[in-house]
Amino acid sequence: MTELLKNHVAGQWIAGSGVGTTLTDPVTGEALVRVSSDGLNLPQAFGFARDQAGAALRALTYAQRAARLGQIVKLLQAKRDDYYAIATANSGTTRNDSAVDIDGGIFTLSYYAKLGASLGDVHALREGNAVPLSKDQSFSVQHVLVPTRGIALFINAFNFPSWGLWEKAAPALLSGVPVIVKPATATAWLTQRMVADVVDAGILPAGALSVICGSSAGLLDQIQPFDVVSFTGSADTAATLRAHPAFVRHGARLNVEADSLNSAILCADATPDTPVFDLFIKEVVREMTVKSGQKCTAIRRAFVPEAALEAVLDALNTKLAKISVGNPRNEAVRMGALVSREQYENVLAGIAALREEAVLAFDGSAAPLIDADPAIAACVGPHLFVVNDPDSATLLHDVEVFGPVATVAPYRVAADASGLPEAHAVALARRGQGSLVASIYSNDDAHCGQLALELADSHGRVHAISPSVQQSQTGHGNVMPMSLHGGPGRAGGGEELGGLRALGLYHRRCAVQAPGAAIDTLTQTTHPAMA
């Protein structure tokens, strides 16, 4: 029988009871390890983290906690080869795709280590300047931010077992809040190994970083008013979480990143004979195929001028035909597997649903898999659809297929009150009911700025690309720690990252109304909460 991975709770390694759930290689079907959270003493686990670990973390200054993050970075960098091997075996990713998760997580952690060092040896932050409340200015108000005296529970998705952990844990730990992470079961191995390496190195106070692998049953029942829960997953699951008494009655914080039908807009000036047209084609293909399309920020809908539709489809088909799919251990393979056969079935069901109103323009299932048995491997080739009437379409704007699938749709080039010729495309993008990101492609930098503002109300991030930044732009789907990650409406309404803004989730804002001397003391013992 395969190894049963242990959970780390209350400062101890504890194996769950029972047989557990077996994690498998999504390409070969080989059993890898098992996980189980059955039998854990959850009240003790949460209480230890909240009380002992929380107190120990808060006793450190921001600069001291940042230094601990820096030590974690060095540790993880030294063990990258181990993590790559786990990612290939458990997630079915190519080395380049594994880097998006593993190196992306380490980079984010490194960013917050450096950012946190700038906050200095203080234990609280101040927001803005003091404002007088009295005519003689002897009595003022100063807003301060102090770490919440609770825990941060992360319920993470299967697609980013490394980055999903560290992009949340970095600001939480820097804030002085202990972390309990519940990774998605299918790919929990990498998260568990990284936590184990950090815990065994003794970098953090006991209980500051815990991991529970297996079922999430009972976790929310442990949440108290000053705790924070951050969830990444489906909108349906998020709706269930929101109804829990921890949030409805006790007022605990819940941050959600959910479904997102992200868009890419080819602007009216980006005709097939211009440089930005090629950048658009390249980006759509990249977003369809990186991590086999299993990214919450991937391009799902591509809106193009009616006159450019055929040229776009021809260019995309040409590039997609060069994508080889199969065993990521084979150097000839460009795109690996989905994380499980369960996800494989979900993606096939999504493709079948889109067929009801869309025409399949590229069928990647026609090409044979490389070094993989199609009866076992969770591999799906790229699928590109076209919807000729996006105004009448519904599934295009409602169904997110979490795999290498995207749909192209034409828009009418005509300005509305905004004066932008892409007004129809903006309206179509908004039909996603709130998205994490939209990208725009224009040869005119100034036009990018105007269009970005039109999209800002319904998107957490707008990524504008022109030929002037073709070498420096970071990519539609890459989440940078300096930028906000999250989105309104259907995307969950949550906010993560964005520099020091991320610390706000783990702090409590308080208005201190006091005499001038008291305000002076606050100023001397806090650091500005810079964005």
Quickly list DSSP for 6-42.
Answer: PEEETTEEEPPSSS-EEEE-TTT--EEEEE--TT--H
Among the listed residues 409, 439, 345, 45, the one whose alpha carbon sits nearest the alpha carbon of residue 213: 45
Among the listed residues 190, 232, 231, the one whose alpha carbon sits nearest the alpha carbon of residue 211: 190
Rounded CA separation 373/307 (Å)? 41
State residue 235 phi and psi, 5-degree precision. -65, -35
Q: Of these residues, 213, 296, 379, 448, which one is catalytic?
A: 296
Q: How large is the angle between the packed helices 163-175 and 62-78, nearest 10 degrees? A: 160
Length of the chain: 531
Strand 262-266 with 299-305, pairing: parallel
Contact between residue 340 and residue 377 where contact means Cβ atoms under 8 Å apart: no
Q: Of these residues, 257, 283, 357, 496, which one is catalytic?
A: 257
Contact between residue 159 and residue 291 where contact means Cβ atoms under 8 Å apart: yes
Say whether 257 is catalytic.
yes
Amino acid letter, 258: A
Contact between residue 312 and residue 358 where contact means Cβ atoms under 8 Å apart: no
Amino acid letter, 215: S
Rounded CA separation 409/428 (Å)? 9
Instruction: State the residue for tokens 């924070």.
Output: 228
Among the listed residues 263, 266, 268, 265, the one whose alpha carbon sits nearest the alpha carbon of residue 420: 268
Instruction: State the residue for tokens 């009871």.
Output: 17
HSE-CB for 118 with a 13 A CA cutoff? 10
Say whether 127 is catalytic.
no
Amino acid letter, 441: Y
Which residues make Cβ contacts (< 8 Å) with residue 266, sequence separation at least 6? 277, 280, 302, 303, 304, 305, 308, 312, 441
Contact between residue 471 and residue 296 where contact means Cβ atoms under 8 Å apart: no
Strand runs labelled E in 192-295:
209-211, 228-232, 253-257, 262-266
Residue 211: Cβ within 10 Å count? 28
Q: Which residues are catalytic?
A: 257, 296
